[in-house]
């Protein structure tokens, strides 16, 4: 599903965030990407959804070779990926409902389905009373849950979650991880990036990748 | 998806009302000016056509008998709407009426110096230069004909005038269309830039360019649609006012308005310009 072949990534010359990265993630895997902040977790995700291109090496995602992917096909790569952005990236002009529904709108789902899916997720994430609020008025934790709902709504084959529970209490974090596991059980790849190693205990079968000094080490 | 786009367009318009209205007024002005020229053009053509109908072909004969004989012959032709015999006496009376104050000019002229004539009117569809010329030639060959006067010069002038006007209309049309497209594209471009962050997020979520641009297209089409609707309304008001205040008071000329087909065509044209503007405005 995701393949990195000798990938190098640097933002400034000579300082590599990722160095000679080789890895393969298969459908149905639940992966924790752990490492302290600043180590390159977000960069790793950006390479997957092709916001950044590697300086060297090749990346294959969901059958697309990102190196030769034309701009016109980029949306179809991204439609296969659900992203919980670390910085949320919500549309302030829209309300909670519209933000959650946005991904489904983009994929052209019928209105009734969008409504059902959005309400279902907002209920699970405790957002149903906020559906009509503009996202600007929400607390950080609420915003984070909106982003999670938006990323899950279209049941993407790949879910990239960048510190998705950083602003949530323990109870809500558990709910979120359960939602991720539910998606994962249907065959989707879930990559959960966090600096909090303790979270890995919540998903016993998960694969754990530790990012350190530009390289990935697998942990049991 | 459509409801999403419409909602988005509505948001976009509401949050950008000032520039929105500015753009609308400017292109209303441009389209209104264009519409005004079209209106004048249409009335010009109509006027010329009516004019033609009133100008007969006049054939002068040596004798009244020859004229009467020719009249019978000419009347049989199916291109003819009417043939009137005008006696020298009638001609003199007419001249006197035309030259009311300047009767000095008529000194020495009496009904013996004037020739009998026929006034020939053609059916409308035969009022073209080709037919007029050949018809005049055939008239000249009839026995006793002295002179044939037909509105060829006048006709040519009208045709030339109309041709010139058409070119002018075309150039003005092109100029104002480009101006409209330019204004809309500029406006949409600025609006698009304003929404850059939002658009970047939509792209991250997998939105295609078409999906992102659609609300802006709708916006551009709406701009063109409303502006052309407004300018048609303003022109209608103008024509109405003109006919009431000016036409009745002085001229015998009444401004006729665009017919339904022309009106709809104009509005569709305006909408297309709006679309083209937004198409260009959302292109990188
Ligand atoms: N757009 C950028 N330009 C320059 N440097 C960047 C950029 N994004 C990230 N970096 C740098 O790359 C390193 C990894 O950042 P990031 O991938 O955000 O780490 P993490 O998500 O693990 O906290 C950091 O040192 C950061 O300063
Ligand atoms: Mg990060």
Domain ranges within chain B, ordered by starting residue: 2-51+156-283, 56-150
What ipTM does this complex have? 0.93
Chain Cα centroid distance, residue A215: 20
User: Is the per-residue pLDDT at A178 higher than 90?
Assistant: yes
User: In degrees rounded to 5, what are phi and psi of residue A5?
Assistant: -120, 105
Place of tokens 């709902």: A149
Query: Which pLDDT score, from 0 to 100, does residue B236 have?
Result: 92
Q: Give yes or no for a contact between B124 and B25, defined as CB atoms under 8 angstroms apart.
A: no
| Nearest CA distance, A87 vs chain B (angstrom) | 11
Chain Cα centroid distance, residue A17: 19
Q: For A74-86, write each residue's pLDDT tens digit.
A: 999 999 999 999 9
What is the rounded CA–CA span in Å between residue B16 and residue B23? Answer: 11
Sheet of strand A158-162: strand arrangement: A81-84, A158-162, A189-194, A30-34, A207-212, A215-219
Query: Which pLDDT score, from 0 to 100, does residue B55 have?
Result: 73
Sign of the Cα torsion A121, A125, A126, A132 reads negative
Query: Which pLDDT score, from 0 to 100, does residue B251 have?
Result: 62
- List the single range of A44-58, A101-115, B187-201, B252-266 with lowest mean pLDDT: B252-266
What is the rounded CA–CA span in Å between residue B163 and residue B174? Answer: 16
Q: For domain B56-150, which architecture applies?
A: 2-Layer Sandwich (3.30)
Q: For A137-169, write each residue's pLDDT tens digit.
A: 999 999 999 999 999 999 999 999 999 999 999
Q: What residues line ligand 1, using a CB cutoff of 6 Å?
A: A 11, 17, 35, 37-43
Q: Give yes or no for a contact between A2 and A189, defined as CB atoms under 8 angstroms apart.
A: yes
Query: Which pLDDT score, from 0 to 100, does residue B106 have?
Result: 66
Query: Which pLDDT score, from 0 to 100, does residue B87 have?
Result: 86
What's this model's pTM, rounded to 2 decimal places?
A: 0.77
What angle in degrees, to the nearest 10, is found between the helix axes of A170-185 and A140-153? 10
Q: What 3-state DSSP class applies to B127? A: coil
Asked if A102 lies within 8 A of B11 by C-beta distance, the reply is no
Sheet of strand B145-149: strand arrangement: B80-86, B117-122, B57-61, B145-149
Average per-residue pLDDT in chain A? 94
Given the DSSP bridges, would you call strands B145-149 and B57-61 parallel, antiparallel or unpaired? antiparallel
Q: For A186-208, write each residue's pLDDT tens digit.
A: 999 999 999 999 999 999 999 99
Query: Which pLDDT score, from 0 to 100, does residue B105 have?
Result: 67
Query: Which pLDDT score, from 0 to 100, does residue B250 have?
Result: 64
Q: For B87-118, write each residue's pLDDT tens digit.
A: 888 888 877 777 766 666 666 666 677 888 88
Which residues from A are below 8 Å from B11, CB to CB? 93-94
**Residue numbers of chain B with a pLDDT score lower than 70:** 52-54, 100-111, 152-156, 247-253, 284
Nearest CB among B4, B204, B209 relative to A51 is that of: B204
Nearest CB among A72, A94, A102 relative to B205 is that of: A102
């Amino acid at each position: 599903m995701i393949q990195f072949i000798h990938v190098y990534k640097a933002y400034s010359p000579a300082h590599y965030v990722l160095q000679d990265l080789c890895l393969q993630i298969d459908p149905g895997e639940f992966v924790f990407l752990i490492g302290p902040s600043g180590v390159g977790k977000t960069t790793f995700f950006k390479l997957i959804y092709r916001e950044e291109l590697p300086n060297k090496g090749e990346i294959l995602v969901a059958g697309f070779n990102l190196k030769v992917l034309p701009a016109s096909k980029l949306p179809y790569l991204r439609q296969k990926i659900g992203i919980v952005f670390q910085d949320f990236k919500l549309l302030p002009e829209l309300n909670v409902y519209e933000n959650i529904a946005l991904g489904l709108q983009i994929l052209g789902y019928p209105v009734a389905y969008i409504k059902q899916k959005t309400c279902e997720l907002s209920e699970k994430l405790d957002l149903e009373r906020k559906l009509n609020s503009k996202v600007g008025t929400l607390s950080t934790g609420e915003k984070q849950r909106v982003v999670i709902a938006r990323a899950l709504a279209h049941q993407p084959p790949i879910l990239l979650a960048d510190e998705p529970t950083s602003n949530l209490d323990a109870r809500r974090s558990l709910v979120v991880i359960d939602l991720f596991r539910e998606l994962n059980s249907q065959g989707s790849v879930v990559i959960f990036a966090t600096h909090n190693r303790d979270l890995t205990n919540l998903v016993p079968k998960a694969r754990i990748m530790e990012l350190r000094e530009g390289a990935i080490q697998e942990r049991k | 998806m459509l409801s999403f786009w419409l909602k988005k367009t509505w948001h976009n318009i509401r949050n950008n009302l000032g520039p929105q209205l500015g753009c609308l007024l400017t292109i209303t002005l441009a389209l209104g000016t264009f519409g005004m020229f079209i209106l004048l053009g249409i009335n010009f053509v109509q006027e010329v056509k009516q004019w033609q109908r009133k100008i007969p072909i006049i054939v002068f004969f040596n004798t009244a008998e020859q004229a009467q004989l020719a009249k019978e012959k000419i009347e049989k032709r199916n291109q003819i709407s009417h043939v009137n015999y005008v006696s020298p006496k009638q001609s003199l009376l007419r001249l006197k009426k035309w030259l009311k104050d300047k009767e000095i000019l008529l000194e020495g002229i009496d009904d013996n110096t004037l020739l009998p004539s026929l006034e020939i009117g053609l059916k409308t569809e035969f009022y073209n230069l080709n037919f007029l010329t050949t018809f005049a030639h055939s008239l000249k060959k009839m026995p006793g004909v002295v002179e044939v006067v037909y509105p060829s010069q006048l006709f040519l002038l009208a045709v030339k005038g109309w041709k010139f006007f058409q070119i002018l209309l075309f150039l003005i049309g092109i100029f104002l269309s480009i101006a409209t497209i330019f204004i809309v594209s500029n406006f949409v471009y600025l609006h698009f830039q304003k929404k850059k962050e939002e658009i970047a997020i939509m792209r991250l979520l997998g939105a295609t360019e078409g999906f992102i641009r659609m609300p802006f297209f709708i916006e551009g089409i709406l701009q063109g649609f409303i502006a052309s609707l407004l300018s048609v309304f303003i022109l209608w008001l103008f024509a109405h006012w003109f006919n009431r205040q000016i036409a009745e008071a002085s001229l015998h000329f009444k401004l006729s308005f665009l017919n339904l087909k022309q009106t709809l065509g104009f509005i569709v044209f305006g909408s297309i310009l709006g679309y083209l503007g937004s198409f260009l405005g959302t292109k990188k």
